[in-house]
């Protein structure tokens, strides 16, 4: 099977930031279930952590949609940020799915004061 016959996909997600902030305030351990230590540390260093966590939540959902996942762990999709664009690191069953499909995943995040969104693109890996 050539690279051109490998699947490609796209996923998108949008979330009201306050909705996630309220959920995290009601259930403080929820952040540990949804986000990796690195994601929580990155957000905690920002003036409005919920804004950055919401964008990462959207990225995780977008990746799941792009890979057509039915059951998966939020922590298996890790969104890392540095000086450049956000990068996705896949773990566990999500990484196994991407590897089985022979694909890689890229994401783009955005947010306003009210909303966060992300797009994920799945494309054939170059070998």
pLDDT digits (tens, 9 = 90+) for 29-76: 999 999 999 999 999 999 999 999 999 999 999 999 999 998 899 999
Q: Could you tell me the residue ranges of all domains in the chain?
A: 8-124
* Mean pLDDT computed over every residue of the chain: 91
Residue listed under structure tokens 């952590």: 49
Q: Which residues contact 98 (CB under 8 A, 6 or more apart)?
A: 67, 90, 104, 105, 122
| DSSP codes, 69-105 | -SS--GGGEEEE-SSSS-EEEE-HHHHHHHHHHTEEE
Fold of 8-124: Ribosomal Protein L22; Chain A (3.90.470)
Q: Which residues of 27-47 are buried (b: 16+ CB within 10 A; e: fewer)?
A: eeeebeebbbeebbebbeeee
The pLDDT score that the predictor gives to residue 123 is 87
Share of the chain above pLDDT 70, in %: 93
**Cβ atoms 69, 30 nearer than 8 A:** no
Q: What is the pTM of this model?
A: 0.91
């Amino acid at each position: 099977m050539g690279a051109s016959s490998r699947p490609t996909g796209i996923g998108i997600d949008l979330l009201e930031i306050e909705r996630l902030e309220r959920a995290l305030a009601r259930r403080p351990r929820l952040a540990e279930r949804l986000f990796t230590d690195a994601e929580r540390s990155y957000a905690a260093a920002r003036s409005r952590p919920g804004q950055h966590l919401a964008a990462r939540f959207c990225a995780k959902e977008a990746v799941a949609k792009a890979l057509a996942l039915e059951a998966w762990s939020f922590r298996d999709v890790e969104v890392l940020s540095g000086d450049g664009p956000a990068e996705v690191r896949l773990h566990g069953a999500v990484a196994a799915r991407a590897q089985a499909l022979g694909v890689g995943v890229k994401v783009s995040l955005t947010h306003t004061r009210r909303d966060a969104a992300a797009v994920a693109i799945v494309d054939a890996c170059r070998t």
